[in-house]
Amino acid sequence: MPFLQFPRRCLRYWMSIALTVLGVAVVHFVSSANWLSHHGDFDIMQWRTGGIVSDSSQFNATGCAYLRGMDNILVILKTGATEALEKIPLHIDTTLRCAPHYAIFSDYEEEIAGVRTRDTLGSISEETRHTNPDFGIYNRLRISGRKGLTSEDWTDEENGPYGKPGNPGWKLDKWKFVPMVDEALLVKPDAQWYVFIEADSYVFWRNMVQWLSRLDAKKPLYLGAPMQMGNEVFAYGGAGIVLSNPAMQLVSQFRAGNSTGVERMTADDWAGDHVLGMILKDLGVSLVWSWPLLVPIRVWEFEFFTEGNDHKLWCYPVASYHHMSLQDIQDMWLFEQKWVRFKKDSVLLHRDIFQWHVYDAISSEKDDWDNLSSDNEPEASSTGYPTTFDECARKCSLITDCLQFSFSGRGCSTSTKVVGGGHRLGYSSGWMATRIKALLKNAQKCAKAQYIIAY
């Protein structure tokens, strides 16, 4: 039936739908524009029309075209057979996309998404590989490939003070840290810098390049987020470990002359990054404490307004996050490419990550969400203590410097810090939006980015 012959009631029906859709679109546009004008100084219309698309390849030319200095860097992504198929394809399409030189080091050689992984443990002595129980999964992979994996090999657990001792892949992982040095030198012996990351790391390469360009790659340098074991401090592998070429050469030479001793050290330790750190310490290469550029936790667990190690981190660039989920990595990649599209000459500061990526996510209450409020222990059974979410919110409002709160079956917790948090059944979380907005307004102004410099 021609359109003009539609009954009037049908015409009115479709017009009402069209007007409704248009109204929703206008509301969405206005609210987005208000958010953008509140958060920063981008051109609102330009940002809106730029859009975020699901196919990140559309940003490839823009996202990498302005990234100079990567040619001096070899990126090494460390993984294992039990996680590689799930995690590596996303990294190839995001984290590694702008890296002209990279290698994926694993405990099993295979092709994933068109990229060949390298067996990092082949240089370990046969005696160790055949006698140390940590190599059970490795030996079965070599004999039977992925068919040799058992249900126990997929056992996972929460990270504890000593990692994941019940996870076979995690126990094998410690053996990769020192051999990776030799393997990386074989891949690109002339690199100035070697950046070791893990499958749950996210790296902002523009910030990394800007930072490394300020350092002397001709010196033996060892950069990382500090982690302490007893009285010993070393670089935490998950946040990224950065070694200059001279530092790499020293470790390689040490291992060549002390292979048995290095394997004994590794067997007696529970963390391979600790073994690498102790070797570098013995070689006279001290750790350059690189927090808050290299961050050992998720973006959603980071305390943006805090200080530590004499650093006011608000004006520091962020070079990496750890414990990032696949969704975190995808979201951060799309966010970063959008930032580059409109701010191609700017590094991303912690300030920017909070204002543009985190702030909007904490502007409302969330169910089944734990924002890690922990300034006080819940006491749900105490008389007069909050017994509902609303009472918990009221308690926080009466504490002058309280910025967020959470309520669960354990009771009410409040905090003077601002943290995003994460999904957790049975928890409800809220933030004091007005106070956080005031905190944001009065936050430190950043005339220029601050860096960790090694002399």
Using one digit for the tens of pLDDT, what is the confidence trace for 219-259?
A: 999 999 999 988 899 999 999 999 999 999 999 999 999 99
Cα distance between the two ends of the chain: 80
Considering the entire predicted model, what is its pTM?
0.82
The pLDDT tens digits of the residues spanning 415-446 come to 999 999 999 999 999 999 999 999 888 887 88
| Residue 169 confidence class, pLDDT cut points 50, 70, 90 | confident
Q: What is the dihedral of CA 99, 101, 104, 110, to 10 degrees?
A: 110
| Spatial distance between the Cα atoms of 304 and 300, rounded to a whole number of angstroms | 10
CB atoms closer than 10 angstroms to residue 302: 22
| Residue 170 confidence class, pLDDT cut points 50, 70, 90 | confident
The pLDDT tens digits of the residues spanning 20-43 come to 434 434 333 333 333 333 444 433
Q: What is the dihedral of CA 242, 243, 245, 250, to 10 degrees?
A: -170
pLDDT of residue 44: 30
With CA atoms as reference, report the closest residue to 349 among 293, 420, 431: 293
The pLDDT tens digits of the residues spanning 114-134 come to 999 999 999 999 999 999 999
pLDDT of residue 308: 60
- Backbone φ/ψ region at 444: left (φ over 0), alpha (ψ -120 to 50), beta: beta
Name the percent of the chain lying above pLDDT 70.
Answer: 79
CA atoms within 13 A of residue 311's CA, in its CB half-sphere: 21
pLDDT of residue 123: 95
CB 32 within 8 A of CB 25: no
CB atoms closer than 10 angstroms to residue 99: 21
| Spatial distance between the Cα atoms of 387 and 379, rounded to a whole number of angstroms | 9
Strand partners, 370: 422
Give me the domains of the chain, ranges plus CATH numbers. Answer: 64-289 (3.90.550.50), 365-449 (3.50.4.10)
- Diameter of the chain by CA atoms? 91
The pLDDT tens digits of the residues spanning 335-355 come to 998 888 877 667 899 999 999
CA atoms within 13 A of residue 104's CA, in its CB half-sphere: 25
The pLDDT tens digits of the residues spanning 190-221 come to 999 999 999 999 999 999 999 999 999 999 99
